[in-house]
Amino acid sequence: MRAREHGGGIIDLSQGTPVDKTPDFIQEALSAATNSPSYPVTIGTPELREAMRNWATNILGATGDFDVLPTIGSKELVAWLPSILQSKTVLYPKIAYPTYLVGSMIHGAEAIAVDIDANSWPKSDLAWINSPSNPTGRVHSISEIQSVISYARKNNSLVVSDECYLSFPATGPAPASILKIAGGDNKNLLAVHSMSKRSNLAGYRAGLIVGDPDVIAEIREVRKHAGMMLPLPIQRAMTAALSDEAHVVEQAERYAKRRELLSAALIKAGFTIDFSDAGLYIWCSRNEDCWSTVSWLADLGILTTPGIFYGGAGSKYIRIAMTATDNQISEAAERILESI
Ligand SMILES: Cc1ncc(COP(=O)(O)O)c(C=O)c1O
């Protein structure tokens, strides 16, 4: 409400919801498929399956034996996976997207927040990793991913790598999919991907999982009876979206420019920026309680998210999303600079 009272209007950088246009060719693929009287197939049309496999091979770098399955968004998959797999113990990062915990709670699983280093993890049925991270933009190093893979192999535990921000590198080495690092042995490994950010398709609700064929067979069997089939027009749109990378590179450039502009203003205003190496977010601090920082920015008409929403370790941080127009991001940077 405070941010809304600002004379220049509110700039909402709180929710990571894309605002840039859905590419025309994807909209066209959707509207060409509106005559859709039959039930859609759970596993996806042959064209979509081929597009997902090609994308997993060419873009993720997956090799060896793997399967693919389309999902309604990836939030829905994250929320329901512990229930579908009847997981009793679930690990999730200490600073994390809240749906890992909520999905465990829906199923009544024991949820344990863990550090990045998989060598310290207890045994579990399902362990989530998220790189690039929401909210921190942290990218796992290759050796951290290798430790996670060793954990999965040693404990016979499923590791699910949420990679929905993989397309948006910012600084440092490009983030890598767990399936690339696995080197063709994909047992107990799944990668979760989303069309929402990559292709500005959050409103369509489309995602996919790639990885261990036995785990995907188990999920597919449940889904055949539990529903959650991806609507056919969305399958057609997703097939088109996965077959093009130019629009993804364009979007990545947009976010990189916004990140640069906003980061420079925040640093001048005395903020410390941590991680924020890739993805959609700037994870920053004024070394004070996060609500004080949220409040300071609200007085400038800028809405941000308190880091405490992502776990106790985030209590001195805020998350800033770059999901606003270029003009709004410039305006936000100006307001921050004028305030110092
Ligand atoms: C880490 C992470 N995973 C999954 C999702 C879900 O995205 P979607 O359901 O749009 O695919 C989000 C959305 O913000 C996210 O931040």
pLDDT digits (tens, 9 = 90+) for 56-65: 999 999 999 9
pLDDT of residue 171: 77
Q: How far apart are CA 132 and CA 163, in angstroms?
A: 7
- Residues of the chain within CATH 3.40.640.10 domain(s) are 24-243
What is the overall mean pLDDT for the chain?
A: 97
**Is pLDDT of 102 > 80?**
yes
Q: What is the pTM of this model?
A: 0.98
| Separation of CA 164 and ligand 1 centre (Å) | 6
Is any atom of ligand 1 closer than 6 Å to the C-beta of 16? yes
pLDDT of residue 265: 98
Of ligand 1's atoms, which has the minimum distance to the CA of residue 196? Answer: 10
Of ligand 1's atoms, which has the minimum distance to the CA of residue 280? Answer: 16
pLDDT of residue 76: 97
pLDDT of residue 174: 83
**Is pLDDT of 128 > 80?**
yes
- Residues of the chain within CATH 3.90.1150.10 domain(s) are 3-21+247-338
- Residue 314's pLDDT band, with cuts at 50, 70 and 90, is very high
Task: Give the fold, CATH level 3, of 24-243.
Answer: Aspartate Aminotransferase; domain 2 (3.40.640)
Q: What is the pLDDT of residues 54-90, one digit of tens each?
A: 999 999 999 999 999 999 999 999 999 999 999 999 9
Report the share of the chain in percent with pLDDT over 70: 100
Q: What is the pLDDT of residues 182-212, one digit of tens each?
A: 999 999 999 999 999 999 999 999 999 999 9
Is any atom of ligand 1 closer than 6 Å to the C-beta of 280? no
Query: How far are the Cα atoms of 56, 79, 170, 199 from residue 249, in angstroms, in the given order?
Result: 17, 29, 12, 10
In this structure, whether the domain defined by 3-21+247-338 belongs to CATH 2.60.120.10 is answered with: no
Of ligand 1's atoms, which has the minimum distance to the CA of residue 195? Answer: 11
| Separation of CA 197 and ligand 1 centre (Å) | 8
